[in-house]
Amino acid sequence: MNTIAIFYPKEFRNHPILQENMKNLNSNLNTWINAKETYEREKRFMDSLHFDSEINKQREIIKNTEIDLKKADEKLNKEISPYKWRVIERFVTCIEGQDIRADYALFLEDKR
């Protein structure tokens, strides 16, 4: 199970739209993580291919996994525009003397 750290402006703490988004955040993040891992794995696999027929087939697979990743990203960020969750893997920091380590950190950012 992944550890997750979530950071957002304190003025949003009890905001109903953010609270609604966060209800499904764990599930949506897991979908996003799986889509990202699949996309990266398929891109790495491309380096081992030699023949045009293999490469063309793999390009199509990568295109489809990229579409899945975009859908997962849209689901993760549903209803929070103009904000967006920025996902950082293997997060380590120290805040007010407290070490924070997480497999994933999410930062709510203004995408404008």
Confidence of residue 88 (pLDDT cuts 50, 70, 90): very high
Smallest CA-to-CA distance from 103 within 39, 32, 55 is with 32
**pLDDT in the model for residue 21:** 95
**pLDDT in the model for residue 112:** 83
Instruction: Check whether 1 has a pLDDT greater than 80.
Output: no
Tell me the pTM: 0.87
Task: State the Rg of the chain over Cα.
Answer: 17
